[in-house]
Chains A and B, each alone.
Chain A
Amino acid sequence: MKLVTAIVLFIAALFASQYTYAQCDTTAHYAGNYLGSSFVSDGQSYRALIYDDQIAEFTTTFYGDQTYRIVAFSGMEKEQIIFSVYDENDRELFSNENYQNSPYWDFEIESTIDCRIEAKLDPVKQKSGCAVLLIGFER
């Protein structure tokens, strides 16, 4: 009996790992659609496996006189991820939480600034999953 359980768990673990990759790929595919044709990817896209109240965090420089689009997506449904943009003094500049967790938002930058972006799952909608963030700049 123990051996059967062991084999089942072994196979389940193998599938779980591969499923995680596949889940992120699918999520990324959905996220990519929100960049549209007028925004060009910065050549990097970002995925995080977030669990419970974990927060994915990163910094970026937004250049002046440019318009950027941030896309945040988790799972296969939109509006499951909350992302916020902070300035270098940790002052909140924007949060999609105030706009029904909109999966994307555009930022017109007047002057070059360094920002910090945080992303977390909306605990009401999702407990864990693959979060994908994309940044594009307008052509």
Chain B
Amino acid sequence: MNNIFLLSSYIKLAFMSLKKGLSLSVYLAIAAFIISSCGERPAQKGDSVKDVKIDSTKSSIVNVSGKLFSIPSPIQTALLIKESDAPYNKDVLSNPKNADKYTAKFDRALNLGIYGADMAYTSFYEDPQESIKYFRALDLLSENLEIKGAVDAGIIKRLSGNLENPDSLLILSGKFYEAADIYLKENERADVAALILTGTWIESTMLTARAAKGDNKNAFARLAQQKKSINTICDVLASLNSDGMIPQNFIGQLDSLKSSFANVSREYEYNEPVTYADTKTTRITSTSTYEMSDSVFTDISDRLTRMRNEIIN
């Protein structure tokens, strides 16, 4: 269905052809287009990007299912936690032995995201023995969700062989998520892709909140900065839940969390950016200031923990 602009070309062709009395040809051409666009595309090795839909009938501005962009990757969030100097605590992570207990698509997708965040976390803190456990859990859930075939076998192999090398793991994890994301979206399974991202966000934000409890100001600030992400997640999931796969109580919990984040205040100040053409770099100097009271922090932290525990148990 990402070929909408091609469809518009076919429609133009249809009008032209109808004038020439070629209606049968046109109908067949459109049928061919629809057949080839709507059928599930088999997972292929080497797929490397996701689709973006264009609705050319609405306006020249195309909003590219882009709200997903606002959800930070588990790798980046794990990096931010590490950089905030939070102490390592593997006891708070999800139990990788539970991977085969999740049977519903909804639970599998969320927990795949959670395990991905935990794998990135253990890797950044250089705990390869734990990373291996999360990799195995990730591998199993990918298979159960029928997305493993979409990921280049070479990536899986290199991932499993690089669990003790955080740098390699980072790059390979990024490729893994990218391939899964593309496959899901090309096959009309954007809801699953969004739930995986939601799982990673919930886990990594919960870990950030736990770090912030230890009077870690960096982690506290990072938590407040998630205000936009929760808004995006709520919007995306609401727009993708046409088949009702996502339970209403889960949507309700996210909405409550969004309401809690609404109490985080924010001010933006523009400053002129500085560009260095020789190094192809622009320094963005504008600033955003976030304010979060202790009571709002406690509220957010408690809600996150409750949600996350319901997902993993």
- Residues of A near any B CB (own CB < 8 A): 2-3, 5-14, 16-18, 20-21, 24-25, 28-29, 31-32, 37, 40-51, 53-66, 85, 87-89, 91, 93-94, 99, 102, 104-114, 128, 132, 135-137, 139
Contacts and interface: CB of A to CB of B under 8 A. Distances in A.
Contacts of A63: 72, 76, 80, 222, 225
B228 A17 contact: no
Contact of A51 (B5, B32, B76): B5
B73 A44 contact: yes
B213 interface: no
Contacts of A89: 268, 270
Contacts of A114: 70, 228, 288
Given A49-B54, A93-B273, A43 B69 contact: no
B280 A2 contact: no
Interface residues of B, number: 84
B167 A139 contact: yes
A109 to B, nearest CB: 5
Given A2-B22, A25-B46, A40-B170, A46 B69 contact: yes
Interface string B2-22: 111110101000000000011
A138 B21 CA distance: 58
Given A94-B282, A111-B286, A10 B74 contact: no
B56 interface: yes
A50 B154 CA distance: 32
Say what secondary structure dominates the interface of chain B.
Answer: helix
Contact of A47 (B50, B174, B176, B288): B50
Nearest to A16: B6
Interface in B65-103: 66-70, 72-76, 79-80, 83
Nearest to A99: B277
A43 B288 contact: no
A5 B29 CA distance: 10
Contact of A5 (B10, B25, B52): B25
A2 B25 CA distance: 7
30 contacts: A5-B25, A6-B24, A9-B25, A13-B32, A13-B33, A14-B35, A25-B48, A41-B73, A41-B171, A42-B73, A42-B75, A44-B68, A44-B69, A45-B49, A45-B181, A46-B52, A47-B2, A48-B52, A48-B54, A48-B62, A54-B60, A55-B62, A61-B72, A61-B228, A61-B229, A87-B270, A106-B280, A111-B285, A135-B69, A139-B79
B36 A47 contact: no
Contacts of B273: 93-94
Contacts of A25: 46-49
B207 interface: no
B26 interface: yes
Nearest first, the 6 A-B pairs at minimum CB distance are A58-B66, A43-B177, A13-B32, A41-B174, A28-B49, A17-B36
B30 interface: yes
B221 to A, nearest CB: 8
A137 B282 contact: no
Given A49-B2, A107-B284, A113-B284, A61 B70 contact: yes
A99 B268 CA distance: 28
Contact of A110 (B6, B25, B178, B284): B284
A111 B63 contact: no
A99 B280 contact: yes
A59 B60 CA distance: 17
Nearest to B66: A58
B141 to A, nearest CB: 16
A29 to B, nearest CB: 6
Given A61-B229, A85-B282, 11 more contacts: A9-B32, A43-B75, A43-B174, A44-B178, A44-B197, A50-B54, A91-B270, A102-B280, A111-B289, A113-B287, A113-B288
Contacts of B2: 20, 47, 49
B238 interface: no
B303 interface: no
